[in-house]
Chain A
Amino acid sequence: MANTAVATGASTRPNYGSMSRDRTWALRWSYFFLVLFAIFFLMPPIYMLITSLKTSAEISAAKNPWFISNPTLQNYIDLLSQNQFLVFFRNSAIVSICVVIITMMISVIAAFALARMKFWGSATLATGVFLTYLIPETLLFIPLFKMFAWVNEVFGVQLMNHWWTMIILYPTLTVPFATWIMIGYFASIPKELDEAALIDGATWMQTLTKIFIPVALPGIIAATIFTFTVAWAQFLYPLAFTTSTSELVLPVGIITTLIKGDVFNWGQIMTGALLGAAPPLIIYAFLMDYYIAGLTAGATKG
């Protein structure tokens, strides 16, 4: 009896299409586009890798650029045995690490104050921080020339042509954005958490260090990754403000020393670019899990 009833019911119902079939098609399309994008975005790095393994003669020979007939590590050996390249690398590393430390120290404290300690003008200040981020650096480097000249005149400190000047310059780009990310992250932490800490007897500083920083760790890591990437890849400021080979950072160093007039040493350029891209890649790979893990889970009603 029951079976008959079910069968009749099913046959009279109009066929709207099944959920699982919809899902299958959605997945097929997702894969199609994902593969398409992956190919599109992986093409340049793969091309870099292939070119870095070729001799200059093979690169200039008009053969299939995606194929290597005589793979060689000569480009890597040449580049890494040059003192210059290691200097660029060292300059970039020191600048980036210092910029990350300075940026995070300023932006975490600033973001905490702007997000939580409601004071007169805090909202306007927060918007102001964001607006500074919107001004492109291409507009800033000429006024900066003027400022450097003024600093030299008044204080006798030469800021031009020193790699360490970048440690002062880059935070002007990274602090606003990192602060903005952190404001958003801190704002998502339930208000009751700092109220509970306040009642428990924590000072503002203790609330920041013992509650906010641990809870907002994914956000802090995201901001750190961003800051490091910006500092590591920054091109315009070092190009404008440094000229001596010993003062160059990696991106500018590769371009200025490996392109001589109209001679492009493609093998070494690609090798340098690939080696230069390695540190951010490694950092991403290590911190990605942390970045994604939501530490706030379970803080409040779940």
Chain B
Amino acid sequence: MTKLTRRHVLAAGSSGAVVALAGTAACSDPGADSASGDLDPSADVTISVGDQPTEDKPEELAAFNKRIEEFEAENANITLEPSTEVWEAQTFQAKLAGGTLPTVMGVSLTYSYELIDNGQLPNMTPYLEELDLVKDLNPLALDNAKDENGDIYTIPTGLFSVGIAYNRRIFEQAGLDPDTPPATWDEVRSFAQTIKANVPDVTPYAQMTTNNTGGWMLTTMTYSNGGRVQNDAGTEAVMGEETIAALQLLHDMRWTDDTMGREFLFDQEAVRQAFAGGTIGMVLQAPDVYITLIRDYGFDPADVGVGALPQGGAGNNGTLTGGTLKLFDAKATPNQLLAAAKWIKFYELEKYYDEAAALADAESNAADGNPVGLPGLPPVSQEVYDQYLTWIEPHINVPLEQFASYTSSTLELIAEPPAGTQQTYAALDPVVQQILTDEGADIAQAVADANETVQGIIEQAAR
């Protein structure tokens, strides 16, 4: 047996190192992804699709996987690789930058303009035209998905507009009519006073203030007063009297009426938790709050009410819209993008056109205890949507009468501020927090400062 010497060890180690280095070099990716190449609808293509339900939701997962199989059966040349990747605000930018997101997945519609401007979304117009999809989509929603040349970059789905959620039980305890939510900001204020006088230990009206939700809701309130945060072109910050009026109302409810409780650092998740805990009378929310309250927190469906966004000034000013956009991978090949658009058409939109698909979708959701028929804005035109609702009617499990004020509303739907949307919201968070935590805050000055900050954000975004 040969004796192992120091030299042998070194020789083995160094040759191992050389082999390893050569291996690393061979493994390195020379840059496989490219957006070049010609469109060939029949070519074999593989794409990854996000938003696959996780194992803890077996019914939803089975329904999703079944749809995948059906799609692949219909499109023999397309292979789908499902991924449980979902949009999360905190990790999204990093994953987008790192290129680890699937070929297509849902993302908050808030990012639309930013992603288009940054070149992080591919131009989808040719593929949507190829699929003859453009005419079917809700034109209002498509406005959120276009650049100044009219090119379409994404498919908006899961649309909503902001309204006011209220606890019907608290309304009853306070002697208010649970079928009549406040329609104006004056009513919000007086309802809050009534709740405070009659129901102990609850926060009559809560406001979100952190993780960009403060700015989001201040923008909504500004819209409800007839104002804007940025001009339509997104080149100027234009907050004025309407924003001041919104902040003045919050200030008076906080410091004069004391109807806003003691917690002023709510974000969406926290405020929904508190609402589910039965301690909040009213809070600005979209109807999707119902899903979280019922499914995640076991809240009693009979206690949820959602009304249209209360209005200020002369009334009928409008409300803010939002939703989900389908993020297509900017680095995908044309064939992949076409396949991804086909999948979205199949998965998200087919149910509006195909009765069998509509019923299957409604049945699986109902079986899994998910809300069916939740009010919202359709991604398709209103006629198509009404037809769809008649198909799924037997499966609707949402108490629609508790959303009556929201669904009967005819408020103008206003898009989010176009330039640096999330940054704008982030810059407005502290303004709302200041009004709620500092009695002597100078509201006019705070709005003037906020205009200056938002103007800086607009300029940095246009850099």
Q: Do A and B bind each other?
A: no
List residues of chain A with CB under 8 Å of any chain B CB: none
List residues of chain B with CB under 8 Å of any chain A CB: none
